[in-house]
Structure 1
Amino acid sequence: MLEARELNLTLDFCLRVGELLLSSGAGAADVTATMQALSWQYGVRNPEVDVTFTSLSMSFQPDPELPAFVLIRQVKQREIDYEDLTLVDHLVRDVLRGEVELRDARSTLARIVSSGHTLPRWAVTLGWGAMCAGVGLQLGGDGAVVAIAFVAAVVIDRLQMLMARRRLPAFYRQVAGGGVATLIAVGVAAPGFDLNPSVVVTANIIMLLAGIGFMGALQDALSGFYVTAGARLTEALLATAGIIAGVGGGLQVAEVVGVDVGRLDPGAVGDLKQASAAAIGAAICAAAFAFASYAPRRTLVTIAAVAALAILISTSANVSGIGRAWPTAMAAFFVGLISYGVSSRLRVPPLVVVVPAIVPMLPGLSIYRGLSLLSEGGDSTSEGLLALFTAGAVALALASGVILGEYVAQPIQREARKLESRLAGPRLVGPLRVRTGRAARRIRRPSSPEA
């Protein structure tokens, strides 16, 4: 039986790891499994773990005649940081292999959380700008539209960073972001330049949607963590409502000053040139988002390739006229299926590959169309509501498709490992034996957190 001091240190370490995973978008089931695996490795058998959106608790009663040890930790909201998530994932794997003692693990975790980044903050701002420029290219915008989308994203990021320092809630930051994007587009369209400002608005809507955790909410609902799922869904809906309010206000300003921002309806991809431009734009968008989220540099090219293939699948299926939700779900399923294997090769959690790869498919287009139709009023109101419902369907298709792809990929990869072990002949390089059995399965079980 562990001493009280060691037990408290173990539970505290597990809670700190769980806090970072949960705030980075990991599902509650993944957080719970990781915390239980870490506690088991350090001698705490079968602790009780409770995960909610804002707090984590962990309790252990060594003997029915003794009082239970209960620790609670509040979950702090953090910006997306895939570098810290990857380092913690490596630490968890080292601990489960028995290579790191408890005190060394606590010191390593403290260094990961407290240390900054070598990437300067202005470079992150430029990354957000490149992301929106990629969306503008994906939607068929010309050079002027791409440049304006870049500038608008830079302004929005700096404004939101200033508001965050003043502790303003996320809802108001989303309102400000949506409003600034629309007002910049209105300001560009007012002098009568020959460009499509609605692409700028849509690109910045996708930027604002990128940090919303629809996938984590759906994964929690599917795995039975309904309280956490409800809280995450409420946060996502509130953030989306902020975007809608900001963009809607900007469109009203455009109507008052007599500027026709126009509707964006690029339609289906008609030729190879358009498909290539959409794929290149999606690749730039995904890689730039990963860069702005501090993803390891070795992952950027792979993320760009996965996103480009996914957008080609989505646009190709959309040509058949079956709507937007099902083609999006097919592309998301592909992302979830391939990302599980790709992430293990890159030595990062699947979340680092999945989220950037689906960012180009976020329903910014449907949200913008719905708002522009609602602003016209009259007979367009029903069409606007339908477009907003389409946006919700696309978001649900993205989350459910990715999660289904992950579910399918896990047993496929396990069978592939078994087949590789059977077919392995005399090795001239690499390990001479492939670890099998209960120990290897236990090491792989609490794998990286998934979106």
Structure 2
Amino acid sequence: MTERREVYETLDLALRIGEVLLSSGAGAADVTATMMDVTHACGVRNVSADVTFVELTLRHQPRRDEPAALQVRRLNRRPVDYADLTDVDHTVSALIAGEITRDEAHERVARIVSTGHGRKRWSVTVGWGVMGVGIALTLGGDALVCLLAFIAACGIDATQRLLPPQRIPAFYQHAAGGFVATLVAVVASATALDVNPSRVVTSGIVMLLAGVGILGATQDALTGFPVTAAARVIDAFLNTLGIIAGVGAGLTLGDLLGVELVNITVGSVGLAEAGITVVGAALAASAYAYSSYAPLRALLAVAIVGGLGQAVLLAVDSTAVGRTWGAAAAAVTIGAVCHLAAGRFRVPPLVVVVPALVPLLPGLEIYRGLAQLAQDQDGVLELASALATALALASGVILGQYIARPLKRETDRLERRLTGPRMVGRGHGT
């Protein structure tokens, strides 16, 4: 019984760690490998793991003639907290290195997930507003556009904070956020203010897209977890449709009120002086990381990598290859340098990668497509371009990590069994 109890406690610890990783957007391969690392470090062998979109399962059968021990943990959706992810990642590293015992690791994980967020809620709302300002700068927005983008981002954050406790599905939460961003643009356009509403709406779209898990879905599809990938793709698709529905409703409202939100020169939107664009991207990336509770020491790394990605995008986009290939090149660059930056600042690469991708998200293409549809034009190509850009970003980041793998140290046997590079867990930062 004592031996059996030890096994159950080990499996429980591994499942709790896996839950934090999966809810933070980590790929199923990373979650599986980390849970296996934890059980191995605790001396439990012959363990198999299964990860789906909503459930984690660990199975231990020491011998063929003994019944298997099976533990299942249902994933509880929780807001992304990169501080918790970082602390859990450090706990796993300490456990594997033999610096702490299993019971000490269990106590640390319990304390991490129960202490709540480490920042005031108002400061997080301000962080989202600053992210909106950064996106507006990348689109060439002036001071008025940046102010409106700040207001829209804070309004979107309010909807995302108020609706979940009412058990409103994520589709409607994203629709409400898209409608709020468009409503701010409608109100501004109805006044005598000289403002380009498309940049305000695009800033809101990018903020909402940042919470859509396309990176995790793509990583799961590429690393051999098709069931989890399919679930994540459906979830991302529905949330994106929610954004489109909310923005579309706002455009319809503007049309009913006689406010022209779509009477713009679509091709000129988003052009800005290169230096300001790079600074805006760095600001947006670091503000997103701050609002996602990333450790303060990681903000500089996120800003550098985010600005670098935007610079690569501008360089490639200025050639004849097009924006999609520019986004892919920028994502490959981000994926290749994220491990070095993350290791320097002692955070998992996931904490750097996701925020650095935020300024590159195809919010402008989505707005263009919706604007054209509102004018009875063919906006399907723009929406298809947005999808292609999103896939290019996700797959490009993973390719960049493959390119960077020869620079990493040799890892243990469990790490070599992985089908792809890891963004959390043992071996990601060396």
Do the structures match in fold with TM over 0.5?
Answer: yes
Structure exhibiting the larger radius of gyration computed from Cα positions: 1
1:132 Cα offset (Å) = 0.5
- Percent identity of paired positions between Structure 1 and Structure 2: 50
Counterpart secondary structure, 2:259: coil
Which whole-Å CA distance do the structure 1 matches of 2:256 and 2:352 have between them?
Answer: 43
- Residue 265 of structure 1: aligned partner: 266
Q: CA deviation at 1:306?
A: 1.2
Letter in 2 for 1:81: D
Q: Distance in 1 between the 2:69 and 2:104 partners?
A: 23
Q: In 1, are the aligned partners of 2:51 and 2:57 still within 8 Å (CA)?
A: yes
Distance 1:391 1:407, change over 3 A: same
1:407 Cα deviation after fit = 1.3
The offset of 1:117, in angstroms, is 2.8
Which deviations, in whole Å up to 9, do the C-alpha atoms of 1:149-172 show, x marking residues without a partner?
A: 101111111122111121111111
Contact map agreement 2:47 2:60 (CA 8 A) in 1? yes
Whether contact under 8 Å (1:349, 1:448) holds in the other structure is: no
Which residue type is aligned with residue 9 of structure 2? L
Q: Which residue of 2 aligns with 1:393?
A: 388
CA positional deviation for 1:195 = 1.1
Q: Please give the alpha-carbon distance, in whole angstroms, between the structure 2 residues aligned to 1:106 and 1:438.
A: 25
After TM superposition, give the deviation of residue 401 of structure 1 in Å.
Answer: 0.5
Deviations 1:3-46 (A, max 9, x none): 01111000010011011101111110111111111101111113
Listed one character per residue, the Cα deviations across residues 243-286 of structure 1 (whole Å, up to 9, x for unaligned) are 0000001111111111111346364988xx70011011101100
Aligned to 2:104: 104
Partner letter of residue 305 of structure 1? I
User: What SS class does the counterpart of residue 65 from structure 2 fall into?
Assistant: coil
Residue 191 of structure 2: aligned partner: 191
1:65 to partner: Cα distance: 1.6
Partners of 1:145 and 1:189 in 2: CA distance:
11
Q: Once the 2 structures are TM-superposed, how far is the Cα of residue 439 of structure 1 from its aligned partner?
A: 12
Letter in 1 for 2:195: L
Deviates more, 1:329-338 or 1:312-321: 312-321
CA distance in 2, matches of 1:268, 1:155: 23
Partner of 2:26: 26
| CA separation of 1:2 and 1:32: change in aligned 2, threshold 3 A | farther
The one-letter amino acid of 1:301's match is: L
Q: Secondary structure at the match of 1:297?
A: coil
Q: 1:447 aligns with which of 418, 426, 430?
A: 426
* Whole-angstrom distance in 2 between the partners of 1:438 and 1:247: 49
2:33·2:414 contact (CA, 8 Å) conserved in 1?
no
Could you say if the C-alpha distance between residues 173 and 224 of structure 1 is closer, same or farther in structure 2, counting changes exceeding 3 Å? same
Deviations 1:159-202 (A, max 9, x none): 22111121111111101000111111011101231111110000
Amino acid at match of 2:250: G
What letter corresponds to residue 79 of structure 1 in structure 2? P
Decide whether the 8 Å contact of 1:363 with 1:394 is kept in 2: yes
Amino acid paired to 1:15: L
Partner SS, residue 414 of structure 1: coil
TM-score by length of 1: 0.90
Count of residue correspondences:
423
Unpaired runs of 5+ in structure 1? 416-435
1:393 maps to amino acid: A
CA distance in 2, matches of 1:150, 1:448: 39
Q: Is the 8 A contact 2:133 2:146 kept in 1?
A: yes
Pairing of 1:36-435 with structure 2 (within 5 A):
36-262=36-262, 263=264, 265=266, 267=268, 274-377=273-376, 380-381=377-378, 384-414=379-409
Residue 79 of structure 1: CA displacement? 1.0
- Alpha-carbon contact 1:310-1:331 (below 8 Å) kept: yes
Please give the per-residue CA displacement for 1:99-156, whole angstroms capped at 9, x wherever unaligned: 1111111111000000123310111000000000111111011101100110111111
8 Å CA contact retained: 1:40, 1:46: no
Distance 1:441 1:375, change over 3 A: closer
* Cα distance between partner residues in 1 of 2:261 and 2:414: 61
Q: 3-state SS of the aligned residue for 1:201?
A: helix
Q: Contact between 2:132 and 2:207, CA under 8 Å: does it hold in 1?
A: yes
**CA contact 2:125–2:154 (8 Å) conserved in 1:** yes
1:282-335 per-position Cα deviation (integer Å, ceiling 9, x unaligned): 011001000000001011122111111111110111111222110100000000
Q: Distance in 2 between matches of 1:159 and 1:227?
A: 31
User: What secondary structure does 1:141 align onto?
Assistant: coil
Specify the SS of the correspondent of 2:73: strand
Does 75-84 or 405-414 show the bigger shift? Answer: 405-414
CA distance change for structure 1 residues 448 and 260 in 2, over 3 Å: closer, same or farther? farther
Corresponding residue SS for 2:297: helix
The one-character-per-residue Cα deviations of 1:221-243 (angstroms, maximum 9, x if unpaired) are: 11110000000000000000000
- Return the alpha-carbon distance in structure 2 between the equivalents of residues 439 and 68 of structure 1: 22
Indicate how the Cα distance of structure 1 residues 437 and 242 shifts in structure 2: closer, same or farther if over 3 A, else same. closer
Alpha-carbon spacing, 1:235–1:140, altered in 2? closer, same or farther (3 Å): same
1:241 partner amino acid: L
| Matched letter for residue 319 of structure 2 | S
Letter in 2 for 1:447: R
Change in 2 beyond 3 A, CA 1:69/1:86: same
Is the 1:279–1:312 contact (alpha carbons within 8 Å) kept by the matching residues of 2?
yes
